[in-house]
Structure 1
Amino acid sequence: MTQSPPNPILRRLPLIAIVVAAALGAYFLRDVLTFDTLRDQRETLIAFRDANYLLTVLLFVAAYIVIVAFSLPGATIATLTGGFLFATFPGVLFNVTGATLGAIGIFLAARWGLGERLAAKMEASQGTVKKIKDGIDENQWSMLFLIRLVPAVPFFVANLVPALVGVPLNRFAISTFVGIMPGALVYTSVGAGLGEVFARGETPDLGIIFSPEILFPILGLCLLAALPILIKAVRGKKGL
């Protein structure tokens, strides 16, 4: 006895929930998850952390997962908060763990709702679409690391694209955890220094990731990630 395929609407419910939550979050939370809120609530947060460290860690990671999984505003503020509450280390681990688990949530929702069918259609297609799919398949690790390392690629896009082209979950999870580490380390370290920033009545410089001493090493990592693609391209031309 064969099972009937799941209702398409039911398959898309998680993705629909994410879209609805993102829209509601953008409207209701844009003035809540802000630097000003962190500054005003810093003493309360520190007191709670000192009295309930493990619980604070669990609540923080859970909140980060929800923010990323539902594409709510405030991911950058969450990263700064991780550094502010837990220092650069282990704060960066808490930030990366929350971001990775949240990204996996979007990835699974997109793949379950759209990705498997879309990937199958791309595999069965011909011409340019098939070439793009094959190109991604041949260089999955490199492409996954590149979209994580390049600051210009939106995090939401980097979560959706792999799901729509059939990337395995384990590759997505590993490349996300490792690939977002450099940027997360920068912003976590900024968050770790917020105490002095608050004392001076200033706001943190979130554009620090584009300063030469930070950007050039990240671009170097991008080049390293792209190296296998470049080598294959050169070998392909020589084989013509």
Structure 2
Amino acid sequence: MSPTDPAQSSALIRRLPLIVIAIAAVIGAITLRDHLSFQALAENREALIALRDQHYALAVLGFMAVYVAIVAFSLPGATIATLTGGFLFGVFPGALFNVTAATIGATGIFLAVRRGLGDRLVAKMETSTGRAHQLRESIRENELSVLFLIRLVPAVPFFVANILPALVGVRLWRFIYTTFLGIIPGGVVYTWVGAGLGEVFARDETPNLGIIFEPQILGPILGLCALAALPIVLKAIKGART
């Protein structure tokens, strides 16, 4: 066995969770797209309601476990899962179940990326003097604002907001609470849409998933974005004056 084998084995072990996630994501994208869809929810709604009514606690645990897996393995169907939470459990506690499960799943992929890639990348950023180091320092100076912004801005893909913090060395607990709080606005909106799916099913229609871009919804979310960005703006102004 060569001297490099232990180091290579250690690197493989560190990256194993990330490899598993990548493989699961590819397989899920191919095999689960039709099973985690609005049509699948419509076809199975009566069975899901019956399960909820007969075994409420089991339904909650099962739903959250599936939601965590969808997020952690970057599987298709996160939006459908959020709608299902609203459909089965109402706006509240459905929104709480949705946000909690999404946060747990996001934390899982955050830890996998940080262990597999992030720690070494952050170490390189710390010792470098180039643009990578400047990027890390810029994020560090405005970490809370940046974390909230990537959660609040609807255009930022959820998986990107899970991976980027791990690559720049964000602390775990800071990632967890900014994720939980930052996804509440969007989570509540889609849970609310899900809570009204009974009428949508009755009319044989599909829900309006673009509702988050309606002015009355997008306006307050952009207001929260502006509030999150305010410290960055104030620091920039202060730096320009000095």
In the superposition, the TM-score normalised over structure 1's length comes to: 0.97
Selected match of 2:19 from 16, 19, 25 = 16
> Where in structure 2 are there 5+ consecutive unaligned residues?
1-5
Counterparts of 1:4 and 1:115, CA distance in 2: 17
Q: What amino acid sits opposite 2:142 in the alignment?
A: N
Q: Of the candidates 158, 176, 181, which is equivalent to residue 161 of structure 2?
A: 158
The reply on whether 1:236 has 2:239 as its aligned counterpart is yes
Work out the CA distance in 2 between the residues paired with 1:5 and 1:104.
26
Size of the aligned set, in residue pairs, is 237
Match of 2:194 in 1: 191
Residues 141-152 of structure 1 mapped to structure 2, 5 A cutoff: 141-152=144-155
Alignment-mate amino acid for residue 192 of structure 2:
S
CA distance in 2, matches of 1:133, 1:18: 26
- The answer to whether structure 1 residue 76 and structure 2 residue 100 are counterparts is no
Q: Please, which of 87, 95, 100 is the counterpart of residue 97 of structure 1?
A: 100
Question: What residue identity is the alignment partner of 2:213?
Answer: F
Q: Does 1:137 align with 2:129?
A: no
Aligned CA-pair RMSD? 1.2
1:117-162 CA-to-partner distances (Å, cap 9, x unmatched) read 0001011111222111100011111000000000111100000000
Match of 1:56 in 2: 59
Quote the offset at 1:5 in angstroms: 9.1
> Could you tell me the TM-score, scaled by structure 2's length?
0.96
Distance in 1 (CA, whole Å) between partners of 2:9 and 2:60 is: 38
- 124-133 or 173-182, which moves further after superposition? 124-133
Aligned residue number for residue 3 of structure 2: none
Q: Return the letter of the residue paired with 1:132.
A: L
Of 199-208 and 124-133, the range deviating more from structure 2: 124-133
Separation in 1, partners of 2:24, 2:7: 30
Q: Deviation above 2 Å: which 4+ runs of structure 1? A: 3-6
Paired with 2:92 and 2:129, the residues of 1 have a C-alpha distance of 49
Instruction: Tell me the distance in 2 between the aligned counterparts of 1:105 and 1:156.
Output: 11
- Partner letter of residue 42 of structure 2? R
| Aligned mates of 1:54, 1:129 — CA distance in 2 | 47
Amino acid paired to 1:109? A
Distance (whole Å) between structure 1 residues aligned to residue 8 and residue 232 of structure 2? 38
Point out the more displaced range, 3-12 or 47-56.
3-12
Match of 2:112 among 86, 109, 112: 109
Q: Which runs of 5+ in 1 are unaligned?
A: none
Secondary structure at 1:126 match in 2:
coil
